[in-house]
């Protein structure tokens, strides 16, 4: 199943360097056939020596191959 809209997920971001969790707001087939999920994150994070910061509630894009868990 590739469409995870409305589901709670766990996964990694930035090529697997940051663990994230949140609710999928949109799933889509990307150019080239891969699947991407727009995820409203539960918790903020700072990565890549503080150069990438995201606050809780922001939406990030997570590739399907980086999804590690799915729930309701």
Structurally, the chain folds into a number of domains equal to: 1
**pLDDT at residue 16, rounded to an integer:** 86
**pLDDT at residue 25, rounded to an integer:** 98
Q: Would residue 3 count as lying in a domain?
A: no
Domain boundaries, position 24: 8-71
Q: Would residue 53 count as lying in a domain?
A: yes
**Which pLDDT tens digit goes with each residue over 46-67?**
987 878 999 999 999 999 999 9
Q: Would residue 2 count as lying in a domain?
A: no
Query: What contacts 66, CB < 8 A, 6 or more positions away?
Result: 11, 12, 13, 16
| C-beta of residue 70 within 8 angstroms of C-beta of residue 3 | no
Q: Would residue 16 count as lying in a domain?
A: yes
What is the value of pTM for the model shown?
Answer: 0.92
Closest Cα partner for 39 from 53, 52, 21, 54?
A: 21
Q: Would residue 36 count as lying in a domain?
A: yes
**pLDDT at residue 54, rounded to an integer:** 95
């Amino acid at each position: 199943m590739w469409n995870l809209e409305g589901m709670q997920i766990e996964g990694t971001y930035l090529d697997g360097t940051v663990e994230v969790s949140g609710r999928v707001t949109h799933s889509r087939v990307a150019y080239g056939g891969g699947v991407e999920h727009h995820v409203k994150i539960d918790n903020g994070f700072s990565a890549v020596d503080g150069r990438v910061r995201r606050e809780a509630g922001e939406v990030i894009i997570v590739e399907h191959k980086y999804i590690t868990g799915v729930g309701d």
